[in-house]
Chain A
Amino acid sequence: MSEKKILVKPQTFEYSGLFIMKEFYHVIDTWLKENGYDKEEKKVREKVHENGKDIKIKYEPYKRLNEFTKYVLRTEIVVTNMITLQLEEEGNPKKFNKGDISIEIEGIKLADTEGHWENKPFYFFLRTIFHKFIIKDEEGRMDDLFKKDCESYKREILDYLNMHKFIE
């Protein structure tokens, strides 16, 4: 069993209006790839009904600090009643989506993901000493960088959604 530490508490934000879902998904994917995160899509669910589409996506993209520790950007995106509209952007017709989006982001640090250092009390003691005295500074620095990553990720998503706020 791995040790889990929440570095960035779950933050939820909502948006209602116009966006392009495929582009939005691609923006998130591109940010994750450019910042060195491995893709881990836990579940993607789409339901088509009379009022539009409902989409639920759960991601847990991660970045390994070393063999022992990894940082996870847990993301959940829920889109409800999404419909497709044809509007004009700069005189050119373009397809947009309209609906309600709810996004939750959480930053988690997982240590000892394979449970090797919890098998025996002596190993657990060694692991604690190692963390508290040997790699404390380095881990602290990496934790700060991860918190900045979470902030940048959140900004990227909000900037994309705000871009479409004023399109009529």
Chain B
Amino acid sequence: MGTTPLLIEYEGPFDMDELYQGAFSYLEKLNYKVDEDQYKNKTNELEIAWTGKRNVDPYVRFVISVSFHFWGIKPVEVTIDGKKEKKTYARFKIEISGEIITGYEDSLKSGDWKNSLFVRKLRDFFNKRILNKDLIILEDQLFYETVDVQTHIKKILNMESSESAY
């Protein structure tokens, strides 16, 4: 089960270190264990992908994926409140999405059976018929956690749409 991906597109000067550290530490503050799956650095282009995992209970896990893609990276000097500061200028896109993983832990100790058709069908039946309402509530919770991450990143970038009532 996944949530709608949230997008941020920005072009202008920003603090690269503040963005990277700020986003990473905020995910950790929300109790996600963050792994960096990709760091691809080409001339003036950078791609980063993170996966944050949080175990809600022994059966359900929240996964938030954040991907950054930067183009035209160059250092610039900007004047803010009369003071000159060194920033990075780039055009970039950030995509944040969430996913619920069920049965991430092999609690039944099914061993070789865990990938069997029977266990998969049993899990589908359990998710759709027994846990359905709980999963809908959890999906909402996860969606608003991704909105929280998006709002925090917007605050780091000092974007005008960084005030959220949710």
Contacts and interface: CB of A to CB of B under 8 A. Distances in A.
A39 B147 contact: yes
B6 A53 contact: no
A43 B150 CA distance: 11
A47 B90 CA distance: 10
B166 A43 contact: no
Interface stretch (B15-23, B27-35, B156-164): B156-164
A52 to B, nearest CB: 11
B165 A48 contact: no
A22 interface: yes
B9 A45 contact: yes
A44 B154 CA distance: 10
A32 interface: yes
Interface in A9-59: 21-23, 25-26, 29-30, 32-33, 39-49, 53, 55, 57
Contacts of A79: 160
Contacts of B9: 43-46
Given A43-B7, A46-B11, A25 B166 contact: no
Contacts of A57: 161
Interface residues on B, range: 20 to 34
Contact of A44 (B12, B161, B163): B161
Given A39-B147, A40-B4, A41-B6, A48 B11 contact: yes
Given A40-B4, A41-B6, A44-B159, A26 B165 contact: yes
A14 B8 CA distance: 24
Contact of B12 (A40, A42, A49): A49
Interface residues on A, range: 20 to 34
Contacts of A32: 165
B163 A23 contact: yes
Tell me which of A41, A49, A82 has the highest count of chain B C-beta atoms within 10 A of its own C-beta: A41
Contacts of A21: 160-161
Contact of B159 (A29, A46, A49): A46
Contacts of B10: 45-47
Contacts of A49: 12
Given A48-B11, A49-B12, A22 B162 contact: yes
A39 B166 contact: yes
Contacts of B154: 44
B13 A48 contact: yes
Given A26-B165, A48-B12, 7 more contacts: A22-B162, A29-B165, A30-B165, A43-B9, A47-B10, A53-B160, A82-B160
Interface of B: 4, 6-13, 147, 150, 154, 157, 159-166
Closest 3 CB pairs of A and B: A48-B12, A29-B165, A21-B160
Interface of A: 21-23, 25-26, 29-30, 32-33, 39-49, 53, 55, 57, 79, 82, 97
